[in-house]
Amino acid sequence: MRFLILLSSLLTFLGAQAEEIDQAAALATLQRADSLLIDVRSSEEFSAGALPGAIRIGHDEIAAQIASIAPDKDRPLVLYCRSGRRSGLAKQSLENLGYRQVINAGAYDDLLPLLEAEE
């Protein structure tokens, strides 16, 4: 039994690590008026700096809170964090809940200059 739990945890971890980051799709989606930008980092990280227009929902809280913010499961959601790992985990959680347009935008530090260049 312990082996199965370990194997399951390892597969979950590897799946999260392999989550695709798609900054081009994220930038295109953010041009849509109905898109929502979600920062899944900690409140301390968010306070230190966030992308314009982002709301913060921690990656470990997103499944419990998303319905109050985005009840429409077809609404485009763009997620980011420090490296792309937590946003990958959050994306997986949202897709498990039935959200169909979720994009892992990756790292805050990578996205900030891209968004500033578009202004």
> For 1-21, what is each residue's pLDDT tens digit?
554 444 344 445 444 444 689
Q: What are phi and psi of 102, to 5 degrees?
A: -115, 130
For residue 19, the model assigns a pLDDT of: 67
The model carries a pTM of: 0.83
2-118: what fold? Oxidized Rhodanese; domain 1 (3.40.250)
Residues 6 or more apart whose Cβ sits within 8 Å of residue 75: 34, 35, 36, 99, 101
**Which tens digit of pLDDT belongs to each residue from 48-92?**
999 999 999 999 999 999 999 999 999 999 999 999 999 999 999
Quickly state the pLDDT bin for 101 (edges 50, 70, 90).
very high
> Tokens 């809280």 correspond to what residue?
61
30 contacts 78 by C-beta, under 8 angstroms:
yes
